[in-house]
Structure 1
Amino acid sequence: MSCEDKISALHDDLLLKILSQVPTKDVVTTMILSKRWGLVWTMVPKLEYKDTWKEGEKSIWRLLEKSLQLHKAPVLESLNIQVECQFCDDADVVKCVSYAVDHKVRELALILPSQPKILQLASNVYTSKTLVKLTLSCRTLVVDVPSLPCLPSLQRLALLSVVYKDEKSHVRLLSNCPALTHLEVFRNLSDNVTRFIVKVSSLKSFRYTQHKRAPSRSLVLDSPGLRRLNLSDPHGDLDSIQNMPHLDWAYVLHFVPNPKDKKFLRSFSSVKVLRLSLRNVECCSTIKFSRLMKVTLHLYCFDDFMCSLEPLLLFLHNSPILKVLEINYDVALCSNGVPLSWNRPSSVPVCLLSHLEIFVWKEFAGRRQERAFVAYILANSKRLKTAEFSPRYNLYEKEKEKMMELLKSMYRASASSQLDFLI
């Protein structure tokens, strides 16, 4: 019974589409299958090279150089290089990346471990007219931007654990990317920039992470077109963030040194969905969130810090159309005796009377003030559909059962609302 080679009978376009999903070192081996396959791999528009510790220092660069030399595709859609081991000669990577840029690569990713010496890319990387997506990740890669960079097509940029030639290198780079819509920045202690400035009018999404504690660093953000923002910088200076009138979604992890310092979050007043990790909600209790529909608050309380719930009610008063309220109250074990102050407000927040549909409380410990707060929410939320509670992890089973019965006994303004208790 003869075996029919149906794959080889496929049209080149379909074969190239299939091979584009396979690592390049495996794609190259198809050349030995038959004369039909001999040159197919040279037309694959996507090249992906991954090297592990086991494969050796030179293997990836030999494969990369040879395959690029033989590459015949009219357009190089993407070049993805990921290496786990160090290498002695940075000329290999510089040459390969420069070659790809010269051949009009559209997506370029260079993900390397720290190298024995400084790595600098060829200047043509910063003047490419075809690059649409660029990812650079290496602790010893220096972003050395020429005086006249130009990346007119670049839409997505990721600068992960890189260093910069000077304070202005990243500014020159960003200011000459007129089509940039997505930016990701990951900073570690080797990063040598004090004030990271992002002023990009076209920017729609920005992710900024400060990996280690570096309180002397600051972020200057002036991109009014932003719609999504992810900030993770617990101890840095975030006070130089300008207004973002079109912001739809934001996540913020930041421990405000002074809870009464409200400057930091004023620029988030237009957000629709907000996730906050703070030590105290007081810093945003007087800010008007006129468009806010969903908020997730992860509140930390350490040592003898006063975990007041009163600012949370003020926050609800200033969020008139809020539909989803999620709370994670992370009170330190050593703070079990700390009172959670809360007094019943004189008026009910509008969001409770006409909008709130989902109420979630994680790490619920059942303290007196917590119970009073929850009872108030349930008794005044006329449109509530679901109330969900998960107990604090260190509670005994009997304590959890008692808490569940207590919650069930509370009056609910919305008779059709469902009460869930996740043990």
Structure 2
Amino acid sequence: MPRIDRISALHDDLLVNILSQVPTKDAVTTMVLSKRWALVWTMVPKLEYEDTSKEGGKNLWRLVDKSLQLHKAPVLESMHIQAERQFTDDADVGKCVSYAVDHNVREISLIIPSFILPSQPKILLLPSNFYTSKTLVNLTLSCSALVVDVPSLACFPLLQTLALLNVVFNDESSHARLLANCPALSYLHVIRYYSDNVTRFIVKVPSLKSFTYTDNHERYSAMPLVLDSPGLQHLSIFDYGDLGSIQNMPHLETAYVGHLVPQPNDKFLRSFSSVGSLHLRLMDVECFSAINFPRLMKFKLHLFKPSFSELRPGYSEYCSLEPLMLFLHNSPILKVLTISYGVGLYYEDLPLSWNQQRSVPGCLLAHLEIFVWDKFGGRRRQERECVEYILANSKCLKTATVLPRCSYRLEEKEKMVEDIKSLYRVSTSSQLITHSDSTNPGRATT
């Protein structure tokens, strides 16, 4: 019985939609199937070029050049280019971006390798028409040789999502001009390159709803972030230096802050007072002991101690758990508390302060439902007393999870688990979990 080519009988619009779901390299190869297929791929509105081969990206850029010459779709929805090995020059990139903008592109993603041979330095520049795109909605730029040079007349009226990953700016104010001309921007992701020509990174975007920021500059260097976006709802910051100025964020719902500096002050955290869910990764918790968090319902604290090789002048080896209790007093409706006490083995004998509290925090008496202490160090009496205090005073507790550090020997862990089980819990209906797999028989108790 002869085979029937049912796919070729489909309407062109349906075939184009099918080819839009595969990488452009695969779509182009369909032209050899028959005359019927020869030109179908040229109408595909999504161009996706990705090269992960060990041979490099020379073939990739040849494919990009040839396919753009034959491409006939009047409107381009998206262009995605990802090369891992072979570097290219600005003529290739400029041609691609210019073509996309001229065809009313809505999404551009350029992920180009940053490796540059010292003997062949290259600088990538974007074409002038790029900075006045009236249709661009989503933009990702990733390449440390890409220089973002924003003219005074730049304008991206529809841009909503922007990712600037390890790019270089032409001058101190280029990034500010770019952001100032994105009136619809709602999501911003920035990874700072160590030599990106910017000292103070200013983010002043009234429309911004979500911001992710990572500073890769040398640890403890003074490269401040200045953030003034009162509409923010979600914020994630990982920073080794000066957070500079962070203005009030009354609508903030979730925040992650990894601020790995010795003895941070509380100036930046005061702007987080209205947050509902907060995750802090700090070296010292003293900075948030005097701040009120009236809306906070979920809190995770990761106390981080650097290795001895990372210690800097001014860093204190002394650690205190007392600010944590002050924090609980200032978080009246807290329901979820997670503590990850990430100190290395070398720090287990360092001084640790813990004193019985005169009054019980209101959140323990009336709201706390979930309590987690990860990497519990039962060798330290103060850690045990802190856990014991929380279990003995959390009247609404539903689940308590206390997980010993994985570095401990099995016998020591088992002894620690039995000790944890013996602690008094005022909430008699609460479940106690002492193993990462709560379904393991004998590891969970009520």
State the TM bucket, normalised to the shorter chain.
over 0.9
Contact 1:341–1:369 under 8 Å retained in 2: yes
* 44-53 or 347-356, larger mean C-alpha shift: 44-53
Percentage of identical aligned residues: 68
Query: Deviations for 1:161-191, whole angstroms, at most 9, x for unmatched residues?
Result: 1101100000100000000001011112122
The residue number in structure 1 matching 2:356 is 344
Where does residue 246 of structure 1 map in the other structure?
251
Cross-structure match for 1:64: 64
**Unpaired segments of 5 or more residues in structure 1?**
none
> Against the structure 1 CA distance between its residues 407 and 89, is the aligned structure 2 distance closer, same or farther, given a 3 Å change threshold?
closer
Match of 1:165? Answer: 170
Partner of 1:197: 202
RMSD across aligned positions (CA): 1.6
Is the CA contact (8 Å cut-off) linking 1:123 and 1:145 kept in structure 2?
no
Letter in 2 for 1:392: R
Indicate how the Cα distance of structure 1 residues 342 and 56 shifts in structure 2: closer, same or farther if over 3 A, else same.
closer
Q: CA deviation at 1:21?
A: 1.7
Give the distance between the partners of 1:392 and 1:58, measured in 2 at CA.
49
Give, in whole Å, the separation in 1 of the partners of 2:17 and 2:201.
40
**Structure 2: distance between partners of 1:310 and 1:105:** 55
SS for the counterpart of 2:353 is coil
Match of 1:103 in 2: 103
Match of 1:232 in 2: 238
1:188 equivalent to 2:193? Answer yes
Match of 2:229 in 1: 223
Q: Which amino acid aligns with 1:337?
A: D
Q: Which runs of 4+ in 1 moved over 4 A?
A: 53-57
Partner residue of 2:423? 410
The residue that corresponds to 2:298 in the other structure is 294
Q: Residues 354-390 of structure 1, C-alpha deviation per residue, up to 9 Å, x if partnerless?
A: 1111111111011211111111111111111111121
Mapped to 2, the partners of 1:150 and 1:140 lie a distance apart of 23
Q: Partner of 2:410 in structure 1? A: 397
C-alpha separation between the residues in 2 aligned to 1:2 and 1:276? 67
Give the C-alpha shift of residue 71 in structure 1. Answer: 1.9
Counterparts in 2 of 1:272-311, with a 5 A limit? 272-301=276-305, 305-311=317-323
Inter-partner Cα distance in structure 1 for 2:263 and 2:419: 36
Match for residue 83 of structure 1? 83
Letter in 2 for 1:47: L
Alignment partner, residue 442 of structure 2:
none
- 2:11 aligned residue: 11
2:36 counterpart residue number: 36
Question: What's 2:145 paired with?
Answer: 140
Deviation at 1:400, TM superposition (A): 1.0
Contact 1:378 1:412 in 2 (8 A): yes
Q: Structure 2 CA distance, aligned partners of 1:17 and 1:239?
A: 48
Output one character per residue of 1:393-419: Cα deviation in whole Å (capped at 9) or x when no partner: 222222111111111111111111000
Describe the SS at the equivalent of 1:237: coil
**Which of 408, 420, 434 in structure 2 is aligned with 1:421?**
434
Which residue is 1:74 aligned to? 74
Q: State the distance in 1 between where 2:106 and 2:69 align.
A: 18
Tell me the SS of whatever aligns to 1:401. Answer: helix
Uncovered stretches (5+) of structure 2, i.e. residues with no partner: 309-315, 437-446
Asked if the contact 1:390–1:421 (Cα under 8 Å) also holds between the matched residues in 2, the reply is yes
Check whether the contact 2:131–2:155 (CA below 8 A) recurs between aligned residues: yes
Report deviation, 1:55: 4.9
Query: What code does the residue aligned with 2:411 have?
Result: K
Residue 48 of structure 1 is matched in structure 2 by 48
- State which drifts further: 167-176 or 236-245: 236-245
Q: Which moved more, 1:264-273 or 1:107-116?
A: 107-116
Shift of 1:56: 5.0
CA contact (8 A) 1:98 1:122 kept: yes
Whole-angstrom distance in 2 between the partners of 1:379 and 1:10: 70
Shift of 1:193: 0.6
Following superposition, the deviation at residue 54 of structure 1 comes to: 4.2
Q: How many residues align?
A: 421
Give the AA of the match of 1:384: L
Helix, strand or coil: the match of 1:238? Answer: coil
TM-score by length of 2: 0.91
Equivalent residue for 2:369?
357
Cα distance in 2, alignment partners of residues 250 and 291 from structure 1:
13
How far, CA to CA, are the matches of 2:148 and 2:284 in structure 1? 38
Equivalent-residue separation in structure 2 for 1:301 and 1:119 (angstroms): 40
